[in-house]
Structures are given as structure tokens and as C-alpha cells.
Amino acid sequence: MVSGVLLHIRTHRWLWIAVFAVVAAVAWLLPADKNSFDYLGDILAISLMMVGMLLILQSQEGYVSPTAAKTSAEEEAMAEVLA
């Protein structure tokens, strides 16, 4: 069950970023009355934290570190290019 949920979030990451951004915008724009909307600050903070975390994860998708170990096939292809 958990792996299915994580797979859904991973495959629809831009959708989740948009959902949390909209929730944060609504929490920001609603009137912050002292007595009735004390929880809006918490919702805003959690939504913005989720947006930030998901953007970090999205930015790392497909990234290959230049210091990653290269396979022999990659080394041979690079040698052909440089030769």
C-alpha cells in the first residue's frame, strides 16, 4: 500500500507541487482572524515545506553526478570521442 502511494506521488510530482502551492496560497489569502483561523499559519507552513521538499526531489530526478563511477562502456565511448 505504501509503495503504491509513493509511486503515485513520484509519478505525479508536479501535480502534488501544484496542489500544495494552491493550498498555501489559499491559507495566505484567507483573513487571519485571531479567534477563528489560528491554524492557517500551520497549514501555510506545512504546505510551503511540502512544496520545497517536492521541488528539491523534482530537481534531482535524472541528475547524474559527475563524480559517479563510470562503467567500462562509458569510458570506451569517451575515449572514442576524445580520439
H-helix or E-strand spanning residue 28: helix 13-29
Q: Which residues contact 51 (CB under 8 A, 6 or more apart)?
A: 17, 20, 21, 24
Give residue limits of the domains in the chain.
2-82
**Is the overall model pTM greater than 0.85, yes or no?**
no
Q: For residue 25, which amino acid is it?
A: A
CB neighbours of residue 9 within 10 Å:
13
Any idea which residue has 505504501 for its cell? 2
Per-residue pLDDT of the chain (83 residues; tens, 9 = 90+): 668 877 888 888 999 999 999 999 998 888 766 666 678 888 999 999 999 999 998 988 877 777 766 666 667 776 777 76
